[in-house]
Structure 1
Amino acid sequence: MNTTATTDIDVLRVFCAGDGRQGNALGVVRDPRYYPDEASRQALAKELGFSETVFVDDPERGIVDIYTPGTRLPFAGYPLVGAAWLLDLEVIVPPAGEVWVRGDGEFTWIEARAEWAPPRTLRQYGSAAEVDALEVPEPGEWIYAWAWQEEAAGRVRARGFPGRGDGIDEDEATGAAALLLTAELGRALNITQGRGSQLLTAPGPDGIVELGGRVRLERTFML
């Protein structure tokens, strides 16, 4: 990494609530020339400390590279929704494969396969209040705690605990886990996660799941 160079970092909020608040913070490096390899990108992702950081290797073809503070990911939901919104493309390409994108004005949607998502332990609770009352567990498995808020309407309360021990005790909004839960339940969901982030999902044909949410640009800074 060239430590004398400067790089603009866009910070997006992905899966915002209807009032534009909440959402999960995402770092996007649109010009990663000074971070050409996995080691330098991993170091930057750790330094930034977001749940995920995206490096845009080709803004025209939508080729992206995704990192948590501790590892590289072939696929992740909220980084792809955020990057798709920022780049305004019909297709975005993480290592897992092509991800189709659409927008409907308020929401940005991606199409993905649940099997692309990293493993998550989906743990159902009896009520939203039980989920709200959970303490952050000790580092270990990645737990997606959820409960029905209104089952008939597909409304879910959820919290995500990465269990990684890398400083991210709770993930504010987790697209990959939402995909897994949607595939398991086989129905469209309206998920409230964390402090109030909103994720929408809908199962499609041939194992595809749509994942959608609101995105806003919070700030841009130079590193």
Structure 2
Amino acid sequence: MTDHVVLRVFTGPDGGGGNALGVVPDGPAVPAPEARQALAARWGYSETVFLDDAAAGRVDIRTPGTSLPFAGHPLVGVAAWLRLCGHDTTVLRPPAGEVPAWQEGDITWIRGRAAWAAGRRTEQYASVAEVDALPAPPPGEGWLYAWAWEDEASGHVRARGFPRRGDGVVEDEATGAAALVLTARLRRSLVVRQGTGSVILTRFRDDGTIGIGGRVRVVTP
């Protein structure tokens, strides 16, 4: 059995919620892409990260069905894990490009670009109640990020994420990349309440990059 740890990423202030993430600290121990994909499918987390080089921040991100060039919750999670393990890694290197990572209090931050998260469609609903009433998943195909304002003045959003990609992940508890896309489209920083109790923070920047931040809790060491 390949050693891996489980984190919950984007937990609420009380430690509840958060999206489960599998992290394989010794990525080179599983060199074959086919073997990595098989493990990601077997474990069934929305994403699994293979840490290939802690010092360089080189990572491989996989859903149960495919590899991803960029994803928010895996990168926030692995940045927090590296810090907990004593690594001073300030840049992560998924296939999409260089991703700055840093810590502010109990919040782990990364910064990325909306172009790296293509394929995630956002759809605004009239009320939080309408978002909460959606079936999991709603009818249709393709990644859907359903959202409504909780408090538009303060930038608070209620959202739910539905990958709809046929890999067993019916609803994503917390989705940093989709929150990044929404932030880019609204051109403002947000506090996103997603899933059953997750909280995603975003920071809009005029240079085209967007910060994604959240709390991370270790489930298994």
User: Aligning the two structures, in what range does the TM-score lie when normalised by the shorter sequence?
Assistant: over 0.9
Output the CA distance in 2 between the equivalents of 1:184 and 1:92. 25
Matches within 5 A, 1:52-63: 52-63=47-58
> Match for 1:183: what amino acid?
A
Runs of 5+ unmatched residues, structure 2: 84-88
Output the CA distance in 1 between the equivalents of 2:165 and 2:111. 27
Which aligned runs of 4 or more in structure 1 are off by greater than 3 angstroms?
none
Residues 113-157 of structure 1: per-residue CA shift (max 9 Å, x gap):
111113111010000010000002246211000000000000000
Output the CA distance in 2 between the equivalents of 1:7 and 1:211. 29
Report the alpha carbon displacement of residue 58 of structure 1 after superposing the two structures with TM.
0.3
Report the alpha carbon displacement of residue 78 of structure 1 after superposing the two structures with TM.
0.5
2:188 matched residue in structure 1: 187
2:155 matched residue in structure 1: 154
Identity, % of aligned positions: 58
1:11 matched residue in structure 2: 6
Say whether 1:110 aligns with 2:105.
Answer: no
Matches within 5 A, 1:119-158: 119-136=119-136, 137-138=138-139, 140-158=141-159
Identify which range, 131-140 or 210-219, moves more after superposition.
131-140
> Match for 1:151: what amino acid?
E
CA contact 1:108–1:212 (8 Å) conserved in 2: yes
Say whether 1:26 aligns with 2:25.
Answer: no
Residues 56-109 of structure 1: per-residue CA shift (max 9 Å, x gap):
000111100000000000000000000011112211110111100111111001
Identify which range, 205-214 or 136-145, moves more after superposition.
136-145
Runs of 5+ unmatched residues, structure 1: 1-5
TM-score normalized by structure 1?
0.94
TM-score normalized by structure 2?
0.95
SS in 1 for 2:13: coil
1:3 matched residue in structure 2: none
CA contact 1:139–1:164 (8 Å) conserved in 2: no
Identify which range, 11-20 or 196-205, moves more after superposition.
196-205
Over the aligned positions, Cα root-mean-square deviation in angstroms equals 1.0
1:50 matched residue in structure 2: 45
